[in-house]
């Protein structure tokens, strides 16, 4: 069980290998030093993994003045954050994890850098562990736009597709900076008005993506008629080093909420071969599950929205979500430890449920007063 074990004015102690990215991001924004001990100390292969070391190097690249100390066995990490600088950064991601593993924390940090962030990632764009850049573009960028207000300079695109395990993909992320975030209340999910998506294929026949689209639409057309899923086929240098195919779907509501889901084929070398029709049905069902869970943000981006609520002006922010994911629960605990800020959680009942209709899972309303975070590196709003 990973938890903060001791507090002091200068150093915050954690134990275990879980939630490494979360701890480093919150410590950087708070400007507070942390120490993480007992990192897989009971494993046969103790200490930090290669992809975690790669992420630590990325944090060192986008900051100035950070002090990072790791002991010889890699089981203890001490991190003293520096100033978030931003600027143009190129990073070769470790192939054990997808680019989404490295991109998610950058979405949280990018608006508070000194210079607009321009990141170029190289590695695995799609696997079955981490959210793909396509999923983050469809679901996380709308959250960023709500707080940035003007989305000029905000961009996330896949220039090369690289499936697991050999990668070869490339992703470009650009984000403007802001001095502060306004408090926001987002409590009405609205109704689903349309579904959009993208079926991609790399180093396989373009017919694969068409088969995925047909099977996914066969399920979704029973739910709503406004569906459009386009196909992307990558060839040559833009197709990476491994073959693969997949599907990303997003449902947009009448109030501007986006709920997304994705599936990806099995990596090369696995015994079981993925069938495009099965993958399309699986992706459609995952999206319907997100819609059933409901909320104003999907389960992937609950923590992103909660972080921006924490950093907003000293006013009341409210958000309605579906059932909190396990990661979100621990994220809230880390916010309490690092920012010393608590959220109020209440069960939220929609108008349809009051009328006796079953419309999905029980919703949660999260309320907090922002910490009033100000990006001192940006002098004007």
CATH no. for residue 24? Answer: 3.30.110
Is 204 domain-assigned?
A: yes
Q: How many domains does the chain have?
A: 2
Sorted by sequence, the CB contacts under 8 Å of residue 345 that are 6+ apart come out as 364, 365, 366
Sorted by sequence, the CB contacts under 8 Å of residue 219 that are 6+ apart come out as 280, 281, 284, 285, 288
Is 352 domain-assigned?
A: no
Is 255 domain-assigned?
A: yes
Among 84, 112, 142, identify where a domain stops: 84
Predicted pLDDT of residue 381: 54
- What are the backbone dihedrals phi and psi of residue 359, each rounded to the nearest 5 degrees, phi first? -120, 0
* DSSP designation for 277: H
* DSSP designation for 148: H
Dihedral in degrees, nearest 10, Cα atoms 203, 207, 208, 209: 100
Is 248 domain-assigned?
A: yes
Predicted pLDDT of residue 247: 98
Nearest-angstrom CA–CA distance, 241 and 340: 46
Nearest-angstrom CA–CA distance, 205 and 83: 47
pTM here?
0.93
Alpha carbon 134 to its chain's center: 11
Among 266, 293, 320, identify where a domain stops: 293
Report the SS3 class of residue 50. Answer: helix
Predicted pLDDT of residue 6: 45
CA within 13 Å, CB half, 158: 30
Among 84, 99, 125, identify where a domain stops: 84
Domain range for 257 is 192-293
Nearest-angstrom CA–CA distance, 136 and 304: 11
**Averaged pLDDT in 10-residue chunks for the chain of 381 residues:** 47 95 97 96 94 98 96 96 96 97 98 96 97 96 93 93 95 96 94 96 95 97 96 91 96 96 91 92 97 94 97 96 96 96 88 52 93 85 54
Task: Return the number of other C-beta atoms located less than 10 Å from residue 99's C-beta.
Answer: 29
Is 135 domain-assigned?
A: no
Is 79 domain-assigned?
A: yes
Is 244 domain-assigned?
A: yes
Is 139 domain-assigned?
A: no
Which CATH number belongs to the domain containing residue 274 in this structure? 3.30.360.20
Residue 349: Cβ-neighbour burial (10 angstroms; 0-12, 13-18, 19+): exposed
């Amino acid at each position: 069980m990973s938890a903060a074990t001791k507090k002091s004015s200068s150093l915050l102690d954690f134990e275990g290998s879980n939630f490494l990215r979360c701890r480093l991001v919150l410590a950087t924004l708070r400007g507070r030093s942390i120490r993480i001990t007992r990192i897989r100390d009971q494993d046969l292969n103790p200490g930090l993994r290669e992809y975690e070391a790669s992420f630590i190097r990325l944090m060192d690249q986008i900051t100035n003045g950070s002090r990072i100390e790791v002991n010889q066995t890699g089981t203890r990490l001490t991190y003293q954050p520096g100033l978030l600088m931003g600027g143009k950064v190129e990073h070769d991601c470790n192939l054990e994890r997808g680019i989404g593993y490295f991109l998610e924390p950058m979405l949280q940090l990018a608006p508070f850098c000194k210079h607009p962030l321009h990141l170029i990632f190289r590695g695995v764009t799609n696997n079955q562990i981490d959210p793909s850049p396509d999923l983050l573009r469809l679901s996380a960028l709308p959250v960023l736009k709500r707080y940035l207000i003007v989305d000029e300079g905000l961009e996330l695109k896949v220039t090369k597709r690289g499936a697991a395990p050999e990668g070869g993909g490339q992703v470009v992320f650009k984000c403007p900076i802001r001095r502060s975030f306004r408090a926001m209340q987002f409590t009405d999910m609205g109704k689903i008005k349309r579904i959009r998506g993208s079926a991609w294929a790399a180093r396989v026949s373009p017919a694969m993506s068409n088969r995925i689209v047909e099977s996914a639409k066969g399920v979704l057309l029973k739910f709503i008629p406004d569906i459009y899923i386009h196909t992307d086929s990558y060839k040559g240098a833009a197709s990476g080093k491994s073959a693969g195919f997949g599907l990303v779907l997003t449902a947009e509501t009448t109030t501007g909420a986006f709920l997304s889901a994705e599936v990806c084929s099995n990596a090369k070398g696995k015994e079981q071969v993925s069938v495009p029709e099965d993958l399309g049905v699986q992706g459609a069902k995952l999206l319907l599950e997100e819609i059933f869970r409901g909320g104003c943000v999907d389960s992937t981006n609950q923590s992103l929205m909660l972080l921006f609520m924490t950093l907003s002006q000293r006013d009341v922010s409210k958000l309605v979500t579906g059932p909190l994911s396990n990661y979100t629960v621990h994220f809230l605990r880390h916010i309490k430890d690092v920012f010393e800020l608590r959220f109020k959680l209440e069960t939220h009942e929609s108008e349809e449920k009051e009328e006796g209709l079953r419309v999905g899972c029980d919703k949660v309303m999260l309320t907090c007063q922002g910490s009033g975070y100000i990006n001192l590196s940006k002098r004007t709003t």
